[in-house]
Amino acid sequence: MIPAEELRDGILSFSGSVHHGDVNGSEMVLMTRIEGDFVFVHASDIQLLGDEAVSQILSWKPDIVFASGPPLYLGRLSDRQIKMAWENAIRLSRGVETLILDHHLMRDESGAEWVDKLSLETGNRVICGADFMGKSRMLLEARRRYLYEKMPVPEGWHGAYAGGKVGTDGYKTLPPGSFQGE
Q: Greater confidence, 40 or 18?
A: 40
Report how far Cα 135 is from the mean position of its chain's Cα atoms: 16
| Bridge partner list, 32 | 14, 42
pLDDT exceeds cutoff 60 at 47: yes
**pLDDT tens per residue across span 57-98:** 999 999 999 999 999 988 888 999 999 999 999 999 999 999
pTM of the model: 0.86
Least confident of 2-16, 31-45, 165-179: 165-179
The total number of residues shown for the chain amounts to: 182
| Residue 132 CB coordination number (10 Å) | 14
Q: Residue ranges per domain, the chain?
A: 8-139
CA atoms of 104 and 80, how far apart (whole Å):
18
Contacts of 173 (CB under 8 A, 6+ apart): none
Residues 6 or more apart in contact with residue 5 via CB below 8 angstroms: 14, 15, 16, 17, 30
Q: How confident is the model at residue 179 (pLDDT cuts 50, 70, 90)?
A: low
Q: Mean pLDDT, the chain, as a whole number?
A: 90
Taking only the tens place, the pLDDT of each residue in 134-146 is 999 988 888 888 8
Backbone angles phi and psi of 100, in degrees to 5: -105, 115
Instruction: Identify the helix (H) or strand (E) that includes residue 80.
Output: helix 79-95
What are the Cα distances from residue 44, in Å, to 57, 144, 146? Answer: 12, 22, 27
